[in-house]
Amino acid sequence: MGVSKVVYDGSTLIDLTGDSVTADMLEKGATAHNAAGEQIVGTLEVSDFVVTATIGASTSTGAYSATVDKTFSEIFEAHSSGRRVIAKLSGIIFTLSMIDDAGSGMCVFTTVYNITQIAALTYSLTYNGSSWIIYQYNTPTALKNPNSLTINFGGTTVVYDGSEAKAINIDVVNVYSGSGEPAADLGSDDDIYLDMG
């Protein structure tokens, strides 16, 4: 027998009597206590809601038309019920990244695919209220600067232009404090001055 209410010295410490949770409302395997204070184990099997998309013809803007096997209403209902909504297109999985909460008919699925050292291809499957469109974006993973930064320090020269990550190791023996003396024993609160001239 479970305990649904605990009162101590006239004060209610725990009160489950008004709870409405039942086993069929909990995801399978999750545990909780019902209004009677009895432990229950969830029985609800939650599965992904899968939208299968097919690519169509290219548009004048360079995007592609698409068709899907679900209506917007079905997608919205699945999302509202707490199911994970995904879309599949030629083996690529898109996750639902935006849906109109008012249910007026707009949603966006996105994915990042084919990541390289130069760029990542980002795709979106978008419903604009009347048709489905696939957009492709080239998202750069490196942003080269037309003007490079050259750092000379302790006999080492490092050139940084944004095309790749660079690390600079500064030996504190070669750093000078504002007094002109070597600051080999710098603390975390000491000021460091670099002569950039």
- DSSP-based three-state secondary structure for 23: helix
Q: Please report the pLDDT score of residue 8 as a whole number.
A: 85
Digit-coded pLDDT (tens) for 44-81: 777 889 999 998 998 888 789 999 999 999 999 999 88
Q: Between 2 and 89, where is the model more confident?
A: 89
Neighbouring residues of 79: CB distance < 8 A, sequence distance ≥ 6: 49, 85, 96, 99
Q: Are the CB atoms for 38 and 19 separated by under 8 Å?
A: no
Q: Which of 53, 52, 76 is nearest to 135 (CA)?
A: 53
Q: Please report the pLDDT score of residue 197 as a whole number.
A: 47
Q: Are the CB atoms for 78 and 69 separated by under 8 Å?
A: no
- DSSP-based three-state secondary structure for 172: helix
